[in-house]
Amino acid sequence: MKGRILLVVIGSLTACTSVSGINSTQDGHLSVTCFSRWNLVSWNHVRKTGVKQAQAYCTRHNKQMHEVTVHSQGLRGVTRQSVEVVFDCL
């Protein structure tokens, strides 16, 4: 029983964010946006998910990810949070 509860908790944590595709910005950088699916997801978790996506993208291109800026929007427990990670692959 405890094992099933643990699986449900792990499954719900991994499903708590959605991620946009990698986009080019007007100033030549790349960006990825992550959205929380629930109001109670922490900003830090949403940010880490975006950074991991950016790192994975750069790794697929045999480059290192360099974070340029991070923009956040929303209030935990009140609204869904979103984080835009702007980065370069160097």
pLDDT digits (tens, 9 = 90+) for 65-89: 999 999 988 876 677 788 999 999 9
| pLDDT tens track for 13-26 | 454 577 888 999 88
Residue 43, domain extent: 17-89
Q: What does the alpha-carbon distance between residue 41 and residue 72 come to, in Å, rounded to a whole number?
A: 13
Answer yes or no: is 51 within a domain: yes
What pLDDT sits at residue 74? 80
When divided into structural domains, the chain yields a total of 1
Answer yes or no: is 9 within a domain: no
Q: What is the pTM of this model?
A: 0.75
Q: Considering all CA atoms of the chain, what is the largest pairwise distance in Å, rounded to the nearest integer?
A: 53
* Bridge partner residues of 53 (DSSP): none
**Is 49 in contact with 17 (CB distance < 8 Å)?**
yes
What pLDDT sits at residue 12? 46
pLDDT reading at 44 higher than 60: yes
